[in-house]
Each structure stands twice: as structure tokens, then as C-alpha cells.
Amino acid sequence: MGPGRWLGVAMVLLWAAPATLGQVEPHCRERLLREAPRAWHHALQATWGIDLRVRMTSVSERDTWTEEVTFNRAQTGVHHLIKVGTQRWVANERYRFAVGRAAENQAWALTDRGLFSGGQREFGVWWTGIICRVESAVRVFGVPLSFMIEDQQFRMTETRYLPTEGGTKQLVRVRFDSLWTEHKVGTEQTGPQIPGASYWAELDPDDFWVVVRCGRDLPAPGAQASDTVSYQRTADGLPLPMLVRRRIISGNSSSEETVRLEVAHGTPRAMEEFELPFYGFSESVLPSVGPRPYVRNLALVLGAVLLIVAIWLAWLLRRRRHSAS
């Protein structure tokens, strides 16, 4: 084979390599950034105002366990309630708390409480884990796709169209590399912060850009995990995760997890259920609770109006004095 032919082969391989190892198609990237964030926000509304029965089954080489909880996010999208038997973990925009009772006809006992601050409204990894599974349509192993797009600690290394089997439609494959230098559990808003992790997802641009498949690769050899998500429809036609199949490989061991989500109750709960007085407790049990958001906003508006009136009166007084002189 002559030098010219070798050069031609090399150029073909160089051009084709990104398609295998990852590439950024400008048009695909622009479309993703333009359409996806708003679509993800709409997709999340599928979880608002309904009770979801979340059943998680994990199977490993050593053990099998099943856990079932009821999850509710109020119509506002801010308030959360997780119920396991007669125990409830609740969070609103100002504070969080946990209550429980031995039987349905007994009084509630307050078992935990704290203020809501800066998105840290979790009761530990378990609480955040439930929310991440409910939001599988817009997260990759707990990390919100919108956060990876916006945060400087992630670098988008792949954005390209991916034909589906049969060629009936196109998905969009994206990959983000983590630039974190310190391992942290993170919050609902950030997800876990894992140095050196690489996250990929295959998204459906024709269906609110939801996750169809996704995965996480860790720096350790053989440390990989993947999710496959299938959907059901809400009354409004929004995609709501129905079944999430997860497979985790770590070295020579592996485990599988199945999460099933079923709508248990489609009527929004009363907002009072997300506050302490509903369970017989005064908000005074909290260290300090700020005013409700609408009260705080009203105070700011009134303050601004009074400031404008004061400036206008001062100007009018100066004008009259100037005219009199």
C-alpha cells in the first residue's frame, strides 16, 4: 500500500474516531441548549400534585431487598412528602420535619425538624435517593441534566444524534465529564459530586428530552452503571417514569435494581399537610422560621412603594420651596 493510500486511511480513521469516542455536533448541541432545559422543567411537572407509590427492589450476589414508599410533591413543585407506613418525612420552602405514630388513631410524634436553607432539605442519602428516582426522566444517577449544563464543574464532551434501531427516530446522546476534585453527597439540586465521573445519556428530543438510557462511568477499573427508563402518561400527557432498570458493575461484582412508579392518588394534597400545625405542632418548635414567601414579597413591594413616595414628596417639597423663593 502506497504512502498516499495510507494517508487516506489515516484521514478516514481520524474523521471517524469522534463518532466512536464521542463528538460534539454543533447543530445538535445548539438544539439541546435551546430546547432541553425548558422541556425538562415541563417534564418534572408530571410529578406534581399526585401520590406516587415507589417500589424499589435490589438484587445483588449477597442479598435481595424491597422497599416501598409513597411520594408526593405538591402542585407548587416545592413541597415534598414521603410516607412509609405511619411515618412521614415532609419539607416545604421554609422548613422540614418528620412525624410518626404507632397507629392511625393515635397522635403524631415529632421525630425530626430543621430549617429549609439553600436547597439542603434532605434527611440524608435515603431522602435524596427517593427524589432522584422519581426524577429519573431528567437526572443521570442523581445529577440533574440541567445542572450539568449550567455548572462549570461539568464539561460537555459529546453531543450527537443517535439513530434508533429501525431508524424510525433519532435520539440525542450527551456526555458530561465531572471536574469535581472532592467527593460530596451533594443536595437535591446538585446530586452527588464524584471526582472523575463521566455521565452519559440518550435523550428523546420528541418527548420532552427525557432520559431513555443513561449511565455513569467511574475512574476505578470496571466501575460502570446504567439505567433504562420506560414511561407512563399523566392526564396532561406528560411522561412520568414507570419503570427504571439499573445495573451496577464494580470490579468482579454486580447488582441490579428495579424501581416501579405507580400513581396511587391523583388529587393534590391540601397545602396544610406540608406544615407542622396539620399534625398538631406549633411552628414555634423550630429554632426560627422566616415569614411565608408571599408575606416577605409583599413587604418588599410595600417598602419599594413607600420609598418611591418618599422620594416624590421630597422632590415636591424642594420644588415648592424653589418656587416660593
Give the chain's domain count.
Answer: 1
Residue 140, domain member (yes or no): yes
Greater confidence (71 vs 210) lies with 210
Residue 288, domain member (yes or no): yes
pLDDT at residue 277, as a whole number: 96
In the predicted model, is pLDDT for residue 9 greater than 50? no
Residue 150, domain member (yes or no): yes
Which has the minimum average pLDDT: 59-63, 136-140, 152-156?
59-63
In the predicted model, is pLDDT for residue 177 greater than 90? yes
pLDDT in tens, 184-195: 877 778 888 899
pLDDT at residue 222, as a whole number: 77
pLDDT in tens, 77-99: 778 889 988 899 998 888 889 99
Residue 3, domain member (yes or no): no
Would you give the DSSP letter of residue 136?
T
Residue 246, domain member (yes or no): yes
pLDDT at residue 13, as a whole number: 33
What residues have CB less than 8 Å from 205, skipping those under 6 apart? Answer: 31, 32, 35, 36, 170, 171, 172
Residue 323, domain member (yes or no): no
pLDDT at residue 214, as a whole number: 98
pLDDT at residue 163, as a whole number: 83
Residue 312, domain member (yes or no): no
In the predicted model, is pLDDT for residue 318 greater than 90? no
The answer to whether 49 and 268 are in contact (CB under 8 A) is yes
What residues have CB less than 8 Å from 198, skipping those under 6 apart? Answer: 157, 175, 176, 177, 178, 216, 217
pLDDT at residue 16, as a whole number: 36
**Cα angle 106, 111, 117; round to 5:** 130
The answer to whether 156 and 29 are in contact (CB under 8 A) is yes
- Report the pLDDT averaged over residues 178-189: 86
pLDDT in tens, 11-57: 333 333 333 346 889 999 999 999 999 999 999 999 998 899 999 99
Q: Rounded distance, CA 249 to CA 28, Å?
A: 31
The answer to whether 149 and 159 are in contact (CB under 8 A) is no
pLDDT in tens, 247-281: 998 878 888 999 999 998 777 888 899 999 999 99
**Cα angle 269, 273, 276; round to 5:** 170
Exposed e or buried b per residue across 216-252, where buried means at least 16 C-beta atoms within 10 angstroms of its C-beta? bbbeeeeebbbbbbebeebeeebbbbbebebebeeee
What sign has the CA pseudo-torsion 174, 172, 237, 231?
Answer: negative
Residue 198, domain member (yes or no): yes
The x, y and z cell numbers of residue 5, run together, are: 493510500
Task: Give percent of the chain above pLDDT 70.
Answer: 79
Q: Which domain holds residue 118?
A: 21-304
The x, y and z cell numbers of residue 123, run together, are: 434527611
Greater confidence (2 vs 71) lies with 71
- DSSP per position, 168-197: S-EEEEEEEEE--SS-B---TTT--B-TT-
pLDDT at residue 270, as a whole number: 87
pLDDT at residue 80, as a whole number: 86
Which has the minimum average pLDDT: 6-10, 115-119, 139-143, 203-207?
6-10
What residues have CB less than 8 Å from 240, skipping those under 6 apart? Answer: 46, 47, 137, 231, 232, 233, 234, 261, 263
What CATH number is associated with residue 149? 2.50.20.10
Mean pLDDT, all residues of the chain: 82
